[in-house]
Structures are given as structure tokens and as C-alpha cells.
Chains A and B, each alone.
Chain A
Amino acid sequence: MGEARNRADLIIYWGCNPVETHMRHLSRYSSLAKGLYTPEGRKGRKVVAIDIRPTPTTKGADLFLQVKPGNTFEIASVLRALLRGERLEEEAVAAVAGVPLASWREVAEAIKACRYGVLFFGLGVTQCRGSDINVEQVGLLIQDANVHTRFYGLAMRGHGNVNGSNQVMTWLTGYPMSVNFSHGFAQFNPGEFSVLPMLARGEPDAALIVATDPGAHLPADAVRHLRSIPTVAIDPHKNQTTPWATVVIPVAPSGVAAAGTFYRMDNVPLRVRKLIESPYPSDEEVLAAMKERIDHALRA
């Protein structure tokens, strides 16, 4: 994000609303930040917003494209086609995602004309039918943009260290998420080994939930399956999962009462500190102890 702050003259926010969700993102890292080669801050940057509804973020953009929901793949595809110079006829492709082709041409031209562009994309892009192929198409769009200029894409990560879990799984297994060890080696298949479809199919016969609250965030049928199997919840706070979990283990909150590493959304690892003492152990201590006892039980 240092690159975005110091170099980007084009910022695209797509399916995200950092003014309300990542409040300091704009002033520290993106459209409003003043950096080494961006001394004018917002004035020196072009800002494009793509979303399904007006938000405080889209209000601050130079160009706002209000799109119909569920069209991530189509939007990335039309922008790719335009960047690659494919001939698109106005009569044949009048609009994509409810937005006229002329507006998509304007975005493609802005990408071609910029010195350094950054696309920040949020859950509006990823939480869309087709799941992983959307993100793949967005990745290919960023590749195509790099034929013309320097261009980056960055996912607006929600939880503090959700990126860290992708990083750690990748260095240990080769895959960022949805990793299955049932054959004794790592297999990756989003959908087959993703939390929601697995719970919807009722497959897991036990669950270990750490630092998240499925009782609050997952759909009712997924929660129903979790409630029907032995579920272990490890969390620093009471939440919508702890009242019904089979085993509840309280822990010290990371970055406040437990130190460790968190990965920023641009893959920079930062050390988080212990500011106060907690009566409870850290996640790391609980899990290291649990791992040893599982080992012991499996050998018995």
C-alpha cells in the first residue's frame, strides 16, 4: 500500500466502501494520501468507483458506475476485452451490468492512460455467483492492464489477519484456503472443501472454531449442522457461538493481551504487541497444548 500511497494516479474502488469499513484507508494509503510522487494527494489522482449502490466512497469518486448485482465476471470480461483492443460493437453490447459500453470504455481508457493504477476490490466482487472464477477473471484483468501500464490489484481484507491465514496456509500447504488432509496430503478445492458447502452438506463430524463467530456470520443451515456435532470454540469474547459450543476455551485477545504476527492486506507482516495482561493463555499457547494432546491421543 506504500506503492498506492506514493505512486498511484488512478485508484479504482470496486465492490468496497472503505469510507465506512476501512476508515483510514483513504487518508493513509489510497485516494486522499499525499506521497512521494503524489504530493497533491486527491487532486493528483483519478478515482473510479464501481458499486451496486451509491455509498460515501462512490460519492467521493470522479467517476461512479452503478452496476447491477451479480456481474463481477461480466464486468471484468468487458474491461479485459477493451484493454486488449477487441472490437465490441455498440449495437451488440449496448450495456454490461446495466452500464453503457461507453462508460466501460472510459474506465479502460483511464487504465491505459494512468502511470500507476491500483484496483481495490471488496466483498462486492468476491461474494457473487461463480465465487473463485470471478477473482480469477479480476486477476487476468490486472494482468491485461499491465500490458499498458503499472497496475496492481488488492483485496480489501476485512478481519485483521484474514490475510495471515491465507499466507500461513500457503507456506505450509501450497494453498491459501479450503485445504483438506483426508488422504494424508494437502488437497485444494474451493466448493468441495469450503466451509459453507461442507456444512450445508452436513459432512464434518466435529469442528474447531478459532477467532471467528459462525453463530453470527454463517447461514442458519450451516449453523444448524455445527450445533449438531461436537464443536470447540476458542475466543476472547462471548459471542453467538460460545453459548451452544460443546467446548468453550477463553483466550487473551491478540494484539491487546497476546503478541504475534498479523499480515496487512498488502502482505506486509507486522508484529502486534501485548499491552495488558489477560488471565487467559493466548490462542497459540492453547493450540500448541491441544496439538500435543491430539498427538498423544492418536498414538494411544
Chain B
Amino acid sequence: MQLHQDVVCTFCGCLCDDLEVEVEDNVIVGVKKACVIGKNKLFHDSHPDAPPPSIAGREVSIEEAIDEAARILARARYPLIYGLSSTTSEAQRELVAIAEKTKGTIDNPSSY
């Protein structure tokens, strides 16, 4: 079992950074100090219910999905890039670059 100290909770904008998280066999088994929402978020992220990579409902590899996404965005005349709110700033930086390359619009939920 691994015990992680001072973990940052990524649920809300408070980013409480004093959590204690216990990990066993690559699964989060305990969360201390977090609020009930933060605790649920960590447990949820640790028991992944990730959708399979897919194109038009057909299961594909991750690489094929990325290829198709790139093809769609490169062909688009006016793409919208939206979301960004629960990912890292490193990923957000890539999204701004993609918006510029595709001459698109980039926005996050704070605009409405």
C-alpha cells in the first residue's frame, strides 16, 4: 500500500492541497481530509468507466481515433474548441495551438 500526502484535489476551484490518499494495487482505497464531493471524485477517477475509443460508434484504437479527430479538425472551416475546465494547463496550451492552426474558436464554460 502507498500513502500519498498533500495530494491536490482537482474537483473544484479551491484545489485543497492537504489530502491523504491510499493506493493499493493501482486503486485508490482511502481518501482523508477531502470533502464528500472531492472524495467521490477521487474514487470515481480511480475506478475508470472510460468509454472505448470509437469512430461513429465503431470501436477503434486510440491512434485511429486521434487520426480521425485530426482529419475532422483539419477539414473544418469553422471548428469550435470547447471545454478545458477539468484538464491540465499543459493540455490547455495544446488546445490554444490547435485553435490557432485550424482558425477556430476556443472557449470555456466561463463565457455563459
Residues of A within 8 A of B (CB): 21-25, 28-29, 126-127, 131, 156-169, 172-173, 176-184, 186, 190, 193-196, 198-199, 203-212, 214, 217, 230, 232, 235-238, 242, 246-251, 253-265, 268-273, 275-278, 280-284, 286-291, 293-298
Q: A157-B13, A204-B78 are in contact. List 6 more A-B contacts (CB 8 A).
A: A160-B11, A198-B107, A206-B75, A210-B83, A210-B91, A291-B98
Residues of A contacting B90 in the complex (Cβ-Cβ under 8 angstroms): 260-261, 284
Contact partner, A236, options B7, B48, B85, B109, Cβ 8 Å: B48
Known: A272-B8, A290-B69, A298-B74. A210 touches B14 (CB 8 A): no
Closest A-chain residue to B104, C-beta based?
A181
Residues of B within 8 A of A (CB): 4, 7-17, 21, 23, 26-28, 35-37, 42, 44-46, 48-56, 62, 65-112
Closest B-chain residue to A255, C-beta based?
B10
Known: A210-B95, A260-B91, A264-B14. A195 touches B82 (CB 8 A): yes
Residues of B contacting A127 in the complex (Cβ-Cβ under 8 angstroms): 112
* Bound Cα distance from A287 to B68, whole angstroms: 13
* Bound Cα distance from A273 to B67, whole angstroms: 28
* Bound Cα distance from A259 to B7, whole angstroms: 11
Contact partner, A181, options B9, B21, B50, B105, Cβ 8 Å: B105
* Bound Cα distance from A284 to B92, whole angstroms: 8
Contact partner, B89, options A164, A199, A291, A297, Cβ 8 Å: A164
* Bound Cα distance from A212 to B26, whole angstroms: 25
* Bound Cα distance from A160 to B37, whole angstroms: 12
* Bound Cα distance from A261 to B71, whole angstroms: 29
Residues of B contacting A198 in the complex (Cβ-Cβ under 8 angstroms): 80, 105, 107
Residues of B contacting A287 in the complex (Cβ-Cβ under 8 angstroms): 91, 94-95, 98
Contact partner, A262, options B77, B89, B104, Cβ 8 Å: B89
Contact partner, A276, options B10, B13, B28, B88, Cβ 8 Å: B28
Known: A238-B51, A260-B91, A262-B8. A205 touches B78 (CB 8 A): yes
Closest B-chain residue to A23, C-beta based?
B35
Contact yes or no, A178 B111, CB < 8 A:
yes
Contact partner, A248, options B21, B37, B54, B67, Cβ 8 Å: B54
